Chain A
Amino acid sequence: MIKRNRPGPVAFKRSDVGKLISQCSESADFMSFKLDEDSPFYISYFQTLVDQNIVHQDVLSILKGSKFTSLEEIKDAVHVENIMLTTDVSSIQQRVMLGNILIYKQEAQPSCLLISASKMEKRQISIPETEYSVVGPKEAFVESLDTNINLIRKRIPIPDFQVKELTVGKLSKTRVAVAYIKGIADEENVNTVIQRINDINYDQLIDTSFISQMIADNGNSPFPQLVDTERPDRTASVLMEGKVAILVDGSPSALTGPTALVEFFSAYEDYLIVWSLGSVFRLIRLFAVTFSVLSTPLYVAILTYHYEVIPQDLLTALVSSRGGIPFPPILEAIVLELTIELLREAGARLPTKVGQTIGIVGGIVIGTAAVQAGLTSNVLLIVVALSALASFTTPVYQVSNAIRLIRFPFLLFAQLLGLLGVAVCSAMVLAHLFKLTSLGRPFLEPVYPLRLTDMKDALVRLPFNRQATRPLFMHPQNVLKLQQHSSQKDSKDIDE
């Protein structure tokens, strides 16, 4: 009779919390002990997840001294920010796994007290590496979601800046934050992003690049459809334009969207220098990318089929450099392009210092030797090296990978049909780009659909006083950036 009425240890163990604790106890870093010999309370936590200072100073020191009888009393006595009394097993499990201290009373109902004491290891904020700029802020995102949101929020100190948090990944339980400015960002974009993230059904989510691939409109496209940036200033800036940002705990970058192809050619530095310079640099980058994709295929096409298009003087130079080379242009080009790709891969996988050596060995030694051995023409070497250099000018790293890749089909078509082949391949790539969307918005905007108002910050960047409206293609709710008033400067005559 008595035994049945008393919810003793046996009964408690059968409950879910008991199961959880016994499950966790199998790990070496899980601590579970009784507070005192005569105390009714048990304490459990993951030693590796909690901050020892909080455990000893704020929790154990208070509990040890006094005689509590209920969990509520403890709750009132402990002065820690985040304390919760709950019976819900799933939330208990979730919070214990995030570094909460679990206090429970063996005899009582399975209600438990959770005290937040988490300690998350993180790196210090450092300077951006892939998107370095000479002028302007030097902060970059780190692997902690809270720090990253802090970096953005301090740049947008308004309540309209909102963050929605989701948990994704069956095993990794990754925290994913969707940030946007209410009243500017289109609700439809926000909902699309949230819905697509919720639809992700995968066990792990390590980085933003996972999300970028999983929620892309076309997952097979080599072109990234969301901008991946490590700069909080850039993120804040595009948020204020009406975009949506996605941050992932454990990833030092933010995804922003919807985006258009031209955005991949805009460096944040364009906004930090005078608009005329910024525009010219942006145009140079666009030219560089076109050059990078087309130069080697054009070399192959012209030298294989249409040497007539080269004027005589230039042809002499080309012939003298190609004379005695045993390979057709296509083989020569593919081997050289692959060599450059090899160097790039080797350089990317090696530590910085060794990487530099590889660059010198590859670029100078192999290149010179190949030309001297008569295996390749030095004109092609120049072309290939220049196009490799040009492909590095893209400010967003992801798109330079796409440019690396699409060069090869162009080479193939140049070999098949010469200049016509290059045109056919361009038409194919363009067909793909025309179809591509980013969160449902056309990827080639403002070129197609042609929107002149969005052209002010696309191929060129006009001065800030001309940037009165936010980009229209993402349908911002609030279009006006600044109130325009007639400037006095223009109406003044000379010498007035």
Chain B
Amino acid sequence: MLPLPSEDKKVSPYLAFYIVHSMQLGVVVFSFARTIVKEAGHDAWISVLIAGAAIHLILWMTYQIVIKGNNDITVIHRELFGKWLGGLLTLLLATYLMVIFVVIMRAYIEVIQVWMFPELQTWYMGILLSILVYLYVMGGFRVIVGLCLLSFFFTIPLLLSLLFPLANAQFSYLLPVMEHSTIEILEGTKQMAIIFSGFEVILFCYPFIKQGQRSHKWAQFGTAFTTFVYLAATMVPIVYFSEGQLEKTIWPTLTLWKIVDFPFLERFEYVGVSIWLFVMLPNLCLYLWAATRALKQLFSIQQRKMVMPLLFLTVFASTLIENGIQIRQFNTFVDWISFYIVFAYVPFVYLYQLISKKMRRSE
């Protein structure tokens, strides 16, 4: 067990807003509208709202776990499940983080390959991204959180660009409300909730936040803001595309950006995909940081020594996924894990911790 980080390595509580928000937002913004519309049709926006509410609850549980444990999840694992089982869980969680890392990296590279450079080699872009991740992770947690903050400011103009399609929107597409059955909407909610994942990183970085309890409020605000962003990014495609068209569009947001038209700039998607680098980069950096931090807690290997090998591994893994079909298959698989981590694992640890504390007290 490592000592808690010193004050000068910690960040202010309000930064939890940016951490949570930037972790929940990622490459998936380009494509998620299609997956939920497939399930819930034009009522998808209700799914987004329900998913947002559910995530607020799970985030609350996450915070309860770390506040009670007053350390990161690796230590809490050890306290709750003992050295071996706890260690195994931590290892699995770290592996999950690295798998998500690969998914995000590959998904972004695919967007670049489809929308900007069809000839771009996966390994080439993978190495470039790895260099960036390396630079940030070596700077430590504070530097990564700085990137999270920055990514927030980059998201806003990109969101404003969604106003352009509204000129041609058909708001009647939203009607009738609740046309789809509750089951369908809940199916959409399930899809949506996965997209919100990423905030689990709080389990690892909680000790690095000053006055961690106070940061809870900010983390909830962050989730609220993400819900708003996703709501906007769902509503706009729904009112712009017809339902059949939307189901055939893999990256609705990118397609919408094609409409943006300035006197000096057209085809905004080129700019958008480039700037989106700043939105997905914090995800990569924090996942890698959290994974190496977990491994450090487990095996006491220096974090800086693990960054390079892990990055090589992920670049190698992402080159193995060759085409869009494989990417989506892999994605579905990882989404399934994410879903259970968020909605089964986190509540389980929360309840287990609650009960074991009660038991200990009654003894």
Report which A residues bind B (CB closer than 8 A).
Answer: 305-306, 308-311, 314, 417-420, 422-424, 427-428, 430-432, 434-435, 444, 448-450
Closest to B18 in A: A450
With a CB–CB cut-off of 8 A, which chain B residues contact A428?
A: 131-132, 135
Interface check B278, CB cutoff 8 A? yes
Query: Which single member of B136, B150, B270 contacts A448 (CB below 8 Å)?
Result: B150
Known: A306-B267, A310-B266. Contact between A424 and B139, CB under 8 A?
no
Interface check B157, CB cutoff 8 A? no
With a CB–CB cut-off of 8 A, which chain A residues contact B278?
A: 423, 427
Instruction: Fill in one digit per residue for B251-280: 1 if any A CB lies within 8 Å of its CB, else 0.
Output: 000000000011111111011011101100
- Does the CB pair B116–A311 fall under 8 Å? no
Interface check B128, CB cutoff 8 A? yes
With a CB–CB cut-off of 8 A, which chain B residues contact A418?
A: 116-117, 270, 274
Would you list 5 pairs from A and B whose C-beta atoms are within 8 A, ordered by A residue? A309-B267, A418-B274, A423-B274, A430-B146, A432-B135
Closest to A430 in B: B150
- Does the CB pair A434–B132 fall under 8 Å? no
Tell me, in angstroms, the Cα distance from A435 to B14 when the chains sit together. 20
Tell me, in angstroms, the Cα distance from A419 to B261 when the chains sit together. 18
- Does the CB pair A311–B263 fall under 8 Å? yes
Known: A310-B266, A444-B146. Contact between A431 and B274, CB under 8 A?
no
With a CB–CB cut-off of 8 A, which chain A residues contact B265?
A: 309-311
Q: Give the distance to chain A from B305, nearest Cβ to Cβ, in Å.
A: 19
Query: Which single member of A430, A432, A450 contacts B147 (CB below 8 Å)?
Result: A430
Query: Which single member of B14, B135, B264, B277 contacts A420 (CB below 8 Å)?
Result: B277
Q: Give the distance to chain A from B251, nearest Cβ to Cβ, in Å.
A: 16
- Does the CB pair A434–B143 fall under 8 Å? yes
Tell me, in angstroms, the Cα distance from A417 to B274 when the chains sit together. 10
Q: Give the distance to chain A from B19, nearest Cβ to Cβ, in Å.
A: 13
- Does the CB pair B116–A309 fall under 8 Å? no
Known: A309-B266, A444-B146. Contact between A449 and B11, CB under 8 A?
yes
- Does the CB pair A420–B266 fall under 8 Å? no
With a CB–CB cut-off of 8 A, which chain A residues contact B277?
A: 420, 423-424, 427
- Does the CB pair B146–A424 fall under 8 Å? no
- Does the CB pair A435–B132 fall under 8 Å? no
Known: A309-B266, A444-B146. Contact between A420 and B116, CB under 8 A?
yes
Q: Give the distance to chain A from B283, nearest Cβ to Cβ, in Å.
A: 13
Size category of the binding interface on chain B: 35 or more
Closest to B265 in A: A309
- Does the CB pair B12–A449 fall under 8 Å? yes
B residues 140-173 near A (Cβ < 8 Å) are 142-143, 146-147, 149-150
Interface check B233, CB cutoff 8 A? no
Closest to A302 in B: B270
Q: A311-B266, A427-B132, A450-B14 are in contact. List 14 more A-B contacts (CB 8 A).
A: A306-B116, A308-B270, A309-B267, A309-B268, A311-B264, A311-B265, A418-B116, A419-B270, A420-B112, A420-B273, A423-B275, A434-B142, A449-B11, A449-B12
With a CB–CB cut-off of 8 A, which chain A residues contact B15?
A: 449-450
Q: Give the distance to chain B from A12, nearest Cβ to Cβ, in Å.
A: 59
Interface check B219, CB cutoff 8 A? no
- Does the CB pair A448–B146 fall under 8 Å? yes
Known: A430-B150, A434-B147, A449-B11. Contact between A422 and B266, CB under 8 A?
no
With a CB–CB cut-off of 8 A, which chain A residues contact B298?
A: none
B residues 90-138 near A (Cβ < 8 Å) are 112, 116-117, 128, 131-132, 135-136
For the A-B complex, the count of residue pairs with Cβ-Cβ distances under 8 Å equals: 86
Interface check B281, CB cutoff 8 A? yes
Closest 5 pairs (CB-CB, A-B):
A431-B135, A419-B274, A423-B274, A434-B146, A448-B146
Tell me, in angstroms, the Cα distance from A450 to B148 when the chains sit together. 12
Tell me, in angstroms, the Cα distance from A449 to B11 when the chains sit together. 8
Q: Give the distance to chain A from B329, nearest Cβ to Cβ, in Å.
A: 26
- Does the CB pair B149–A308 fall under 8 Å? no
Q: Give the distance to chain B from A266, nearest Cβ to Cβ, in Å.
A: 21
Residue among A417, A423, A430, A431 with the highest chain B CB neighbour number at 10 A: A431
- Does the CB pair B275–A314 fall under 8 Å? no
Query: Which single member of B12, B131, B150, B267 contacts A308 (CB below 8 Å)?
Result: B267
Q: Give the distance to chain A from B260, nearest Cβ to Cβ, in Å.
A: 10
Closest to B258 in A: A308
Closest to B154 in A: A423
Q: Give the distance to chain B from A186, nearest Cβ to Cβ, in Å.
A: 14
- Does the CB pair B143–A431 fall under 8 Å? yes
Q: Give the distance to chain B from A108, nearest Cβ to Cβ, in Å.
A: 59
Closest to B150 in A: A430
With a CB–CB cut-off of 8 A, which chain B residues contact A420?
A: 112, 116-117, 273-274, 277
With a CB–CB cut-off of 8 A, which chain A residues contact B132?
A: 424, 427-428, 431
- Does the CB pair B136–A431 fall under 8 Å? yes
Tell me, in angstroms, the Cα distance from A311 to B116 when the chains sit together. 18
Tell me, in angstroms, the Cα distance from A420 to B268 when the chains sit together. 13
With a CB–CB cut-off of 8 A, which chain B residues contact A419?
A: 116, 270-271, 273-274
- Does the CB pair A448–B117 fall under 8 Å? no
Tell me, in angstroms, the Cα distance from A449 to B131 when the chains sit together. 24
Tell me, in angstroms, the Cα distance from A423 to B112 when the chains sit together. 13
Tell me, in angstroms, the Cα distance from A358 to B117 when the chains sit together. 43
Tell me, in angstroms, the Cα distance from A392 to B197 when the chains sit together. 46
Q: Give the distance to chain A from B264, nearest Cβ to Cβ, in Å.
A: 6
Tell me, in angstroms, the Cα distance from A310 to B270 when the chains sit together. 11
Q: Give the distance to chain A from B222, nearest Cβ to Cβ, in Å.
A: 14
Q: Give the distance to chain A from B208, nearest Cβ to Cβ, in Å.
A: 13
Query: Which single member of B135, B149, B263 contacts A450 (CB below 8 Å)?
Result: B149
Query: Which single member of B12, B14, B117, B270 contacts A309 (CB below 8 Å)?
Result: B270
- Does the CB pair A306–B270 fall under 8 Å? yes
- Does the CB pair A424–B128 fall under 8 Å? yes
Q: Give the distance to chain B from A308, nearest Cβ to Cβ, in Å.
A: 5
Q: Give the distance to chain B from A78, nearest Cβ to Cβ, in Å.
A: 56
Tell me, in angstroms, the Cα distance from A431 to B149 when the chains sit together. 13
- Does the CB pair A314–B150 fall under 8 Å? no
With a CB–CB cut-off of 8 A, which chain B residues contact A444?
A: 146
Q: Give the distance to chain B from A306, nearest Cβ to Cβ, in Å.
A: 5
Closest to B116 in A: A420
With a CB–CB cut-off of 8 A, which chain A residues contact B149?
A: 448, 450
- Does the CB pair B274–A435 fall under 8 Å? no
Tell me, in angstroms, the Cα distance from A58 to B253 when the chains sit together. 88
Closest to A433 in B: B146
Tell me, in angstroms, the Cα distance from A311 to B270 when the chains sit together. 13
Tell me, in angstroms, the Cα distance from A305 to B273 when the chains sit together. 14
Q: Give the distance to chain B from A475, nearest Cβ to Cβ, in Å.
A: 12
Q: Give the distance to chain B from A447, nearest Cβ to Cβ, in Å.
A: 8
Tell me, in angstroms, the Cα distance from A419 to B266 when the chains sit together. 14
Tell me, in angstroms, the Cα distance from A318 to B233 when the chains sit together. 35
With a CB–CB cut-off of 8 A, which chain A residues contact B267?
A: 306, 308-309
- Does the CB pair B117–A417 fall under 8 Å? yes
- Does the CB pair B143–A427 fall under 8 Å? no
Tell me, in angstroms, the Cα distance from A26 to B265 when the chains sit together. 76
With a CB–CB cut-off of 8 A, which chain B residues contact A311?
A: 261-266
Tell me, in angstroms, the Cα distance from A311 to B267 when the chains sit together. 9
Tell me, in angstroms, the Cα distance from A417 to B278 when the chains sit together. 16
With a CB–CB cut-off of 8 A, which chain A residues contact B12?
A: 449
With a CB–CB cut-off of 8 A, which chain A residues contact B139?
A: 431, 434-435
Q: Give the distance to chain B from A446, nearest Cβ to Cβ, in Å.
A: 12
